[in-house]
Amino acid sequence: MKTYTFVCLAGNQVATAVDIQDLAEDAYRRHALSLLRDHASAETIEVWRDEAVIALVERAGAVLGAPAAG
């Protein structure tokens, strides 16, 4: 089990909810999709592990991967 932080982002990139879960490594995407179902204002879910964003999950269900380093 690993600890993941899920940040629900509205279309204007404002965080509308934060959820912290201990999950198996293959379960974070499923949980992100459930958050999109539960939070109508969320367009994207940022998935964090430790201090890094490891994935972006959009309402369409596509996993975009980690954002590019700036």
Mean pLDDT of 52-60: 92
| Residues 23-52 pLDDT 10s | 999 999 999 999 999 998 999 999 999 999
In a domain, 64, yes or no: no
Higher pLDDT, 53 or 61: 53
19: in domain: yes
Q: For position 70, what pLDDT does the model report?
A: 46
What pTM value is reported for the model?
A: 0.85
> Is residue 15 in a domain?
yes
**Residue 53 pLDDT > 80, yes or no?**
yes
Question: Is pLDDT larger for residue 48 or for residue 63?
Answer: 48
Q: Is residue 65 part of a domain?
A: no
Q: Is residue 22 part of a domain?
A: yes
Is 49 within the bounds of a domain?
Answer: yes
Residue 67 lies in a domain: no
Q: What is the residue range of 20's domain? A: 2-58
Q: What is the DSSP string of the chain?
A: -EEEEEEEE-TTS-EEEEEEEEE-TTSHHHHHHHHHHH-TT-SEEEEEETTEEEEEEETTS-B--SPPP-
